[in-house]
């Protein structure tokens, strides 16, 4: 079983968001467990402040080291050897590859910062990994932690149904997904591609791979450098590119 521990000022945000749909079921069935630790419960002042003014001046507030450190110590017996991930715009970019790496870990701890960030000394003391979802700023690390927990959980055996997990194979080849269709066969005059109604599974698989290649070339040509293609698929791509020029 994989357990996620989240150090946060908004535990209900973490628990509620991850209680829905597939991840809610995964928790009920014991495939994953999510625990949220409220950093505010570890303050030592009457006003329950968790932040203070930055040394050296400047705008905004900084989260203090002590409540975060004590919150972390409260779960230490259960998280020995676990990675402690700080969600920050300064972190290593999150990708499917990183999700696959994290899915191999037994337990994971997430630290969600707020305000202008967290006192550097507690980062030095407890954080093992810094991860970023991309080059943008959120009001807190919670949405980033939730996103990573979702991406990692669906890779944990048992969380997805058999059919869902097969759908992953086409991302693992480094290509975008092929287009999907369901009933009715005509919508607003737009027909489902004939081949999908043919029942010819080998031709359908070939067509889908080609659609994935075309889509990737159109929308994310950068991904093609890393994509795993057979010689025939490479030739198909080169042919398609030539057709685009004319
Ligand atoms: C630490 C992650 C945490 C520092 C967190 C902000 C975006 C991401 C936070 C800051 C976050 C991301 C220095 C603004 C909380 N925003 N891209 N906000 N600074 O993954």
Tens of pLDDT, residue by residue over 149-195, are 999 999 999 999 876 776 666 577 899 999 999 999 999 999 999 99
Rounded to an integer, what distance in angstroms lies between the CA atom of residue 44 and that of residue 48? 7
pLDDT number for residue 171: 72
Ligand 1 atom index nearest CA of 139? 18
pLDDT number for residue 116: 82
Instruction: Provide CATH code, domain 2-153.
Output: 3.40.1280.10
Rounded to an integer, what distance in angstroms lies between the CA atom of residue 61 and that of residue 59? 7
CB atoms inside a 10 Å sphere around CB 50: 22
26 near 159, Cβ under 8 Å?
A: yes
Phi/psi at 176 (nearest 5 deg)?
Answer: -75, 160
pLDDT number for residue 161: 82
For ligand 1, atom 10: residue with the closest CA: 117
Rounded to an integer, what distance in angstroms lies between the CA atom of residue 233 and that of residue 246? 21
Rounded to an integer, what distance in angstroms lies between the CA atom of residue 10 and that of residue 5? 13
Q: What parts of the chain have a pLDDT lower than 50?
A: none
Distance 225 CA to ligand 1 centre (A): 30
pLDDT number for residue 170: 58
CA distances (Å), 23 to each of 4, 72, 79, 155, 194, in order? 12, 24, 21, 11, 36
Distance 113 CA to ligand 1 centre (A): 7
Distance 1 CA to ligand 1 centre (A): 29
Task: Give the global pTM.
Answer: 0.96
Cite the residue boundaries of each domain of the chain with CATH code 1.10.1270.20.
186-245
pLDDT number for residue 196: 98
Ligand 1 atom index nearest CA of 113? 3
Lining residues, ligand 1, CB within 6 Å? 87-89, 113, 116-117, 132-134, 136-138, 140-141, 144
Distance 30 CA to ligand 1 centre (A): 31
Distance 148 CA to ligand 1 centre (A): 14
Of 98, 79, 103, the residue nearest 87 (C-alpha): 98
Distance 114 CA to ligand 1 centre (A): 8
Ligand 1 atom index nearest CA of 91? 20
Top-level class of domain 186-245 = mainly alpha
Cite the residue boundaries of each domain of the chain with CATH code 3.40.1280.10.
2-153
pLDDT number for residue 166: 63
């Amino acid at each position: 079983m994989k357990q996620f521990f989240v150090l946060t000022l908004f535990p209900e945000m973490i628990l509620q968001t991850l209680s829905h749909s597939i991840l809610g079921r995964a928790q009920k069935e014991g495939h994953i467990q999510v625990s949220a630790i409220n950093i505010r419960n570890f303050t030592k002042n009457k006003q329950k402040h968790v932040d203070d003014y930055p040394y050296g001046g400047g705008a905004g507030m900084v989260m203090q080291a002590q409540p975060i450190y004590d919150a972390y110590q409260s779960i230490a017996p259960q998280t020995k050897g676990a990675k402690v991930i700080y969600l920050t715009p300064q972190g290593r970019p999150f990708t499917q590859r990183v999700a696959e790496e994290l899915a191999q870990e037994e337990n994971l701890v997430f630290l969600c910062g707020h305000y202008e960030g967290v006192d550097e000394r507690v980062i030095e003391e407890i954080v093992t990994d810094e991860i970023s979802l991309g080059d943008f700023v959120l009001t807190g690390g919670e949405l980033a932690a939730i996103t990573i927990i979702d991406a990692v959980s669906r890779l944990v055996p048992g969380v997805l149904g058999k059919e869902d997990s097969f759908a992953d194979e086409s991302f693992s080849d480094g290509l975008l997904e092929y287009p999907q269709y369901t009933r009715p066969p005509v919508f607003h005059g737009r027909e489902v591609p004939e081949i999908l109604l043919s029942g010819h599974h080998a031709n359908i698989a070939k067509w889908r791979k080609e659609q994935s290649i075309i889509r990737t070339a159109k929308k994310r040509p950068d991904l093609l450098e890393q994509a795993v293609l057979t010689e025939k698929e490479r030739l198909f791509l080169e042919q398609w590119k030539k057709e685009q020029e004319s």
